[in-house]
Amino acid sequence: MQNDLIQQWTELNKTAIAAIKELGDINSQAMNSLAERQIEMMNLYMEGGSKQLEVASTAQNPQDVVAAQSRLFTELNEKLMDNARQTTEVLADVKGKLAAWVEKGMETAKATTTAAITPKK
């Protein structure tokens, strides 16, 4: 009886550790992907600022500056929207992985509970 209890406890701990490791992997992947999105966004802003300085230094008249800034703003906006779309995809993927993780955990808990309360013959 006591050996069965120790074995069940050991299996429960192994299952819990595996679940925590899996959650850690999901979180790590999510943070890496989101950090990449942030870095790309910062690069976009730096690139945009650099292009604006270049335009300002080479423009012949104010109309050229306004036209170039309008074009640069439109270009930057498109890139930022693409980055936002990619970020949304990352978050949707993480949501799906977390939902699957929870579902798997619930199934494991149900199976473990059923096994623990089922009388041994």
In sign, the C-alpha dihedral spanning 54, 58, 63, 64 is negative
Q: How confident is the model at residue 76 (pLDDT cuts 50, 70, 90)?
A: very high
Chain centre distance of CA 80 = 18
Higher pLDDT, 77 or 113: 77
Residue with the two structure tokens 């800034």: 69
- Confidence at 6, pLDDT banded by 50, 70, 90: confident
- At 1, the pLDDT band (50, 70, 90 cuts) reads low
Per-residue CA distances from 65 to 54, 72, 97 (Å)? 10, 10, 47
Model pTM? Answer: 0.78
Token couple for 34: 């989101």
Q: pLDDT digits over 16-54, tens only?
A: 899 999 999 999 999 999 999 999 999 999 999 999 899
